[in-house]
């Protein structure tokens, strides 16, 4: 990259200043030739030679100094060419300012060089070569004749070359907006055209008039010096041919220089306009892909800058329109798809809301019925609370009865124990009687045996003994019966004791259960009270719910109506989105006629 751009970098400052010495050298040659023709009759050969030598020397010195000054004025540009100065926007803007000042500085520098050189040459010829003062003034006046035209030629050539340098600087890293900001804005085209026209027209006319006057004077002097008429006619023909060959050639060269300057001036005005016209045609054809700045001066540069800014803005707008068109198209398609889904969802929602409205009405009816049932439940809970309180009182009375029964069972158990003790005592007595009866039976048996042995004497004793035996046997039988009864009493008392103990245990269990029942009834009373309060709250909340449910039913009816309206609006939006999609595609088709470069898109996107 650096190797390829090296020659270009090294040549731009010289390329820009090269017309200054070339054009001035050509003007100097024409002015010396003009001086030799117009002052030939007033200068001798030595003076003409001195004029040529001094003129050439002063011209060489002036051109050398002028080139050095011009290069010095382009310090930033030369630094960019050498690579000593970085290609920052500030340095590039400074280089652009130097390049745009170069044509005016070249014009003024060349004009000043001409005036200084010709005045110096006139003074030198007057002081050194000994020419007359009038001739010295004519020599000094050569700067006024050839200086403006030559300087104008330098100005035009430098302008044409400065435009190339400006474009090169823009390629180093300047955006169109930075280049437009760096270029000066001037409204001087009218003054420049007046000066250009004056120099291009007046200078050749004055040169031609002075040349014709000088040649005519020389022609008249030489004719008057010839006395022979035939020789005078021949001399007149010779002088005419010399005037045509020498003076005509100079006039042709001067007018050629003027025409060249006029052509360059026209090029300075016409080329930017042609390029702007071409850029306008490209934009009209839709080509915005390659932005290009058209360098110019004065009002034409204002037009070019405005055109470039307009093109940049148009490219931005078109890129935004392209993105917006694509986004609108994609968004519209998505909106259309979403609208379709929303329309289907709205239809389903309307159906669901219809069902929900019916369900809400049913809920309202259920709420009214629940409110009525809640009132009934509240009354039942109140009655339940009263019944629970009565049950609690009955349970407490039952608990008191169980306590008294427990005491009675205790008394019965004590009596049975005492009875059992008495029965045991009776058993002991019966056992004693039974022993006595046994002994009596044995005694009676012995007495009967003894009475039998006694015979008649003992018959009465035997009878008494027999009766005693029967009595003893009866007593034994009676005691056996008494023992059976005692056993039965024992068994009965044992059963009574067992039953009494079971009754005691049952009474204790009943007492425990009665206590539990009493505690449970107390809890039931508390819970029934809480239930009654809760049922009253539920009844109140149910009534409020009934009111809210009625309002909900009305709201659902309104929502259903609004949903139907929304469904109709969604259908209208879907139709509008379809129309918008068609318009977006038409917009995209229109915008795609313009070709916008990727750099513009990246700049806009960035």
Q: Where in the chain is the domain with CATH 1.10.287.950?
A: 324-605
Condensed to tens digits (0 to 9), the pLDDT of residues 319-330 reads: 777 677 677 777
pLDDT band at 606 (very low <50, low <70, confident <90, very high): very low
Percent of the chain with pLDDT over 90: 6
Which of residues 428 and 602 earns the better pLDDT score? 428
Q: Answer for the pair 378, 535: CB distance below 8 angstroms, yes or no.
A: yes
d(CA 54, CA 123): 11
Mean pLDDT, rounded, of the chain: 76
User: What pairs with residue 596 in β-bridges?
Assistant: 288
Which of residues 173 and 365 earns the better pLDDT score? 173
Highest mean pLDDT among 73-82, 293-302, 560-569, 583-592: 73-82
Which of residues 547 and 350 earns the better pLDDT score? 547
d(CA 589, CA 324): 12
Highest mean pLDDT among 85-99, 357-371, 494-508, 554-568: 85-99
Q: Answer for the pair 527, 422: CB distance below 8 angstroms, yes or no.
A: no
Percent of the chain with pLDDT over 70: 71
Give me the mean pLDDT over the 293-317 stretch.
78
Query: How much is the pLDDT for 115?
Result: 92
d(CA 103, CA 268): 12
Whole-prediction pTM value?
0.57
Query: How much is the pLDDT for 242?
Result: 67
Length of the chain: 606
Distances (CA, A) of 399 to 395, 502, 528: 6, 18, 22
d(CA 246, CA 233): 20
Query: How much is the pLDDT for 486?
Result: 77
d(CA 359, CA 77): 88
Matching CATH number, 324-605, of 1.10.287.950, 3.30.70.1150, 2.60.40.10, 3.90.470.10:
1.10.287.950
Any residues with CB less than 8 A from the CB of 336 and at least 6 apart, and which?
A: 574, 577, 578, 581
Query: How much is the pLDDT for 605?
Result: 41
């Amino acid at each position: 990259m650096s190797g390829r751009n090296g020659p270009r970098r090294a040549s731009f400052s010289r390329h820009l200043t090269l017309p200054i010495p070339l054009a001035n050298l050509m003007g100097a040659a024409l002015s010396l030739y003009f001086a030799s023709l117009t002052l030939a009759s007033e200068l001798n050969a030595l003076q003409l030679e001195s004029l040529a030598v001094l003129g050439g020397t002063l011209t060489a010195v002036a051109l050398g100094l002028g080139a050095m000054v011009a290069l010095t004025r382009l310090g930033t540009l030369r630094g960019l060419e050498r690579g000593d100065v970085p290609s920052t926007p500030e340095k590039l803007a400074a280089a652009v300012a130097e390049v745009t000042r170069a044509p005016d500085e070249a014009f003024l520098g060349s004009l000043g060089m001409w005036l200084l050189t010709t005045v110096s040459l006139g003074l030198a010829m007057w002081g050194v070569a000994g020419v007359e003062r009038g001739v010295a003034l004519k020599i000094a006046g050569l700067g006024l004749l050839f200086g403006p035209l030559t300087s104008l030629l330098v100005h035009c050539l430098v302008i044409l070359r400065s435009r190339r340098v400006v474009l090169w600087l823009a390629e180093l890293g300047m955006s169109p907006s930075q280049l437009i900001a760096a270029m000066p804005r001037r409204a001087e085209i009218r003054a420049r055209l007046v000066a250009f026209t004056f120099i291009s027209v007046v200078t050749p006319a004055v040169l031609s008039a002075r040349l014709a006057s000088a040649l005519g004077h020389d022609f008249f002097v030489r004719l008057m010096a010839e006395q022979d008429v035939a020789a005078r006619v021949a001399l007149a023909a010779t002088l005419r041919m010399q005037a045509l060959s020498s003076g005509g050639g100079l006039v042709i060269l001067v007018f050629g220089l003027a025409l060249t300057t006029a052509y360059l001036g026209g090029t300075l005005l016409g080329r930017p306009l042609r390029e702007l016209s071409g850029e306008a045609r490209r934009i009209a054809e839709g080509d915005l892909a390659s932005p290009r700045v058209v360098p110019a001066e004065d009002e034409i540069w204002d037009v070019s800058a405005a055109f470039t800014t307009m093109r940049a803005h148009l490219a931005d707008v078109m890129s935004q329109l392209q993105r917006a068109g694509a986004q609108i198209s994609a968004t519209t398609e998505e909106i259309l798809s979403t609208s379709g889904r929303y329309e289907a969802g709205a239809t389903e929602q309307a159906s669901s809301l219809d069902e929900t409205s019916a369900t809400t009405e049913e809920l309202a009816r259920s709420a009214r019925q629940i409110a009525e049932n809640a009132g009934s439940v509240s009354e039942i809970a109140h009655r339940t609370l009263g019944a629970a309180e009565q049950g609690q009182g009955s349970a407490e009375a039952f608990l008191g009865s169980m306590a008294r029964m427990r005491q009675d069972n205790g008394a019965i158990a004590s009596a049975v124990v005492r009875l059992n003790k008495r029965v045991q005592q009776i058993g002991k007595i019966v056992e004693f009687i039974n022993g006595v009866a046994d002994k009596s039976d044995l005694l009676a048996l012995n007495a009967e045996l003894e009475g039998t042995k006694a015979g008649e004497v003992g018959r009465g004793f035997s009878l008494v003994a027999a009766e005693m035996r029967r009595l003893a046997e009866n007593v034994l039988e009676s005691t056996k019966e008494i023992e059976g009864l005692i056993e039965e009493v024992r068994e009965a008392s044992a059963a009574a004791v067992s039953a009494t103990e079971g009754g005691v245990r049952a009474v204790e269990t009943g007492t425990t259960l009665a206590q539990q029942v009493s505690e449970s009834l107390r809890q039931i009373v508390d819970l029934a009270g809480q239930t009654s309060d809760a049922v009253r709250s539920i009844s109140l909340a149910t009534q409020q719910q009934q009111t809210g449910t009625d309002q909900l039913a009305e709201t659902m009816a309104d929502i259903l109506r609004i949903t139907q309206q929304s469904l109709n609006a969604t259908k209208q939006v879907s139709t509008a989105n379809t129309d918008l999609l068609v318009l977006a595609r038409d917009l995209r088709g229109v915008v795609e006629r313009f070709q916008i470069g990727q750099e513009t898109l990246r700049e806009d996107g960035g």
